[in-house]
A and B are shown apart, each in its own frame.
Chain A
């Protein structure tokens, strides 16, 4: 069978797992910092040794417990025993964390391709939605309405799914095409959104897929980001955004995976921050990187 490279692609989750394990060793009786677990971060540490009393206290805050409390206590105790038999994050969990990251990143591209077999999102979005609806509804029939609703739903789903998926070669023929399926007219660029809300003082990390649909390999290119700016003018410096690998090439009809890591400063104001991602050597590869920072 083909052997899989245990190199670059696996480093990020491994580091996360080590970081999580380190955090577990110092804060083993508390929850990890929220940001450790946001944005796809936080390969599961074996945090099985959660203090039973703390868990029960937390539950009590949520309201009165049901009659199952006795069984719950027994379950928690057994869980604690199981957790305490383990030390740092087990190797098998680290491997599993790496695999799910890779598969999810690749799956995003596959899902996008499947959905686009059903509808031409670019063409659909190239026209005003109202005009499309009007044209279809001229010969209105209830079934047509339903189909349109499903198409709209599909278009929305495609856009959401494509949020971490960039086509590196679309610009060669017809100008860059947005990751959300929109034609890149004017200033419209694909938007890569960091999942969830990231807390200040934490590191957001997520996988982004770069697809090369052409018949030739890309040249080797290097990704870099500009500073991220919020609507109120607050900024996150460009050197807080890292790509791993920073430099790569994508083979024909292949997909490259890049881990994006954003180190959000502790005193960052809440809000949505956006900045431009570009690539050396590939003029068409541009995207907006969007990050939502919550309150600390």
Chain B
């Protein structure tokens, strides 16, 4: 086997501002979210389980971006908090359902809800989170008035629909063992599955509220897309090489699950015919029938062809493009802590280790 190419080194940087802002935004969001969870029966089988994922260690990118974007355009946290809570609830509902769909075993350092509580209860908790996310959007009416409330609702509707469409693409590729994919296929799936709800809509909704509807929201599309794609690629890379205790999910989990990551697409495109055939055979098996030695072999093949450095380089390219778009998207926002946070979080997303 050829020598293992070195991954693109990620210089250690200080992200004190990003981390402190994320912690503040997360605390705000969690406090408001807990208020939105009913304190009534059935507790043991439902409402006590709803906060489990949100309370686990996590970065809180989405509410952070939304609240910061609102602040960058002059809005208050109070005006955006309901929307931030709604997005965080949707996000956690996605996570619960993702874990069921993928058969994942751990999430944020603990067993997945499905592993801990069983599939049926986990699916229902995810459903409950989706339902509970509607109430904060209704509360917007009092804070934002009917026009902005409606606009936020339309943003959320688009966000959720794009997310389920992207998830359907990814699940469909796995089910039908589609392997002949390109970077463009991956980018489109990632846009739909991740970028709209992780970056684009949080920025759009925050700016919408902060500016009271005065800003053309399309200016955030490219910024959020490039940042979100870089984020997702980094997430996929971490899945293969992070410290499992820090990362909180099983390492190589994406290979076990047959996820169509940029690295898998790259390795498949680089491999010899014989290697490709073996990759296809591996991916054709249901997850439960995949063997650890095959997972290791796929990972080693990625090392052989430099698939991780390839993906890292693409993530960095997208991050630079996002920084470029940041200049345009936030061009008329004054120089504030919130604006600086949004700019710095771009590189944080591609250099994070959890």
Contact = CB atoms under 8 A, between A and B. Distances in A.
B328 interface: yes
A79 B191 contact: no
Interface in B312-354: 314, 316-325, 327-328, 334-335, 337, 340, 343-344, 347
Given A44-B324, A195-B218, A100 B191 contact: yes
A95 B328 contact: no
Interface string B54-92: 000000000000000000000000000000000000000
Interface string B143-181: 001110111001001100110000000001100101011
Given A82-B347, A92-B183, A96-B222, 7 more contacts: A47-B320, A68-B17, A75-B13, A90-B321, A92-B317, A98-B184, A110-B158
B324 A47 contact: yes
Interface stretch (A151-159, A263-271, A282-290): A151-159
A85 interface: yes
B216 A195 contact: yes
B323 A48 contact: yes
B106 interface: no
B146 A48 contact: no
B249 to A, nearest CB: 25
B216 A196 contact: yes
A47 B161 CA distance: 32
Sorted nearest first, the 6 A-B pairs with minimum C-beta distance are A149-B146, A48-B320, A153-B147, A90-B317, A153-B150, A44-B321
Contacts of A37: 328
Interface string A107-126: 10011001100000000000
A40 interface: yes
Interface of B: 11, 13-14, 16-17, 141, 145-147, 149-151, 154, 157-158, 161-162, 172-173, 176, 178, 180-181, 183-185, 187-188, 191-192, 216, 218-219, 221-222, 225-226, 229, 314, 316-325, 327-328, 334-335, 337, 340, 343-344, 347
A68 B340 contact: yes
SS of B interface (majority) = helix
Contacts of A91: 183
A114 to B, nearest CB: 6
B328 A78 contact: no
Could you say which of A37, A47, A93, A149 has the most chain B C-beta atoms within 10 Å of its C-beta? A93
Nearest to A60: B335
Nearest to A149: B146
19 contacts: A1-B173, A6-B184, A37-B328, A44-B321, A46-B324, A81-B11, A85-B316, A90-B321, A95-B184, A96-B225, A97-B222, A98-B184, A99-B187, A103-B191, A107-B162, A146-B146, A150-B146, A152-B146, A196-B216
Nearest to A55: B327
Contact of A63 (B145, B178, B335): B335
A157 B151 contact: yes
B326 to A, nearest CB: 10
A92 B230 CA distance: 11
Given A44-B324, A79-B347, A96 B318 contact: yes
A74 B218 contact: no
Contact of B150 (A93, A104, A154): A154
A154 B146 CA distance: 9
A-side binding surface: helix, strand, loop or mixed? helix
Contacts of B337: 66, 68
A273 to B, nearest CB: 18
B181 A1 contact: yes
A42 B226 CA distance: 14
Contacts of B183: 91-92, 95
B334 A31 contact: no
B332 to A, nearest CB: 11
A27 B318 CA distance: 21
A44 B191 contact: no
Given A150-B146, A195-B218, A86 B344 contact: no
Given A146-B141, A154-B150, A157-B150, A111 B158 contact: yes
Given A48-B320, A82-B319, A75 B229 contact: no
B138 to A, nearest CB: 11
With most chain A CB atoms within 10 A of its CB, the pick from B147, B181, B324 is B324
A111 B151 CA distance: 11
Contact of B185 (A1, A42, A68, A90): A1
Contacts of B181: 1
Nearest to A147: B146
A4 B184 contact: yes
B158 A150 contact: no
A96 B321 contact: yes
Contact of B324 (A48, A107, A161): A48
A79 B346 CA distance: 10
A137 B345 CA distance: 49
Interface in A54-98: 59, 62-63, 65-66, 68, 71-72, 74-75, 78-79, 81-83, 85-86, 89-93, 95-98
Nearest to A65: B335
A212 to B, nearest CB: 22
A176 interface: no
Contacts of A196: 216, 219
Given A1-B178, A78-B11, A79-B323, A92 B151 contact: no
B11 A93 contact: no
A45 interface: yes
A100 B325 CA distance: 13
B157 A93 contact: no
A202 B107 CA distance: 50
A116 B177 CA distance: 38
A71 B150 contact: no
Contact of A93 (B13, B226, B340): B226
A129 to B, nearest CB: 15
Contacts of B324: 44-48
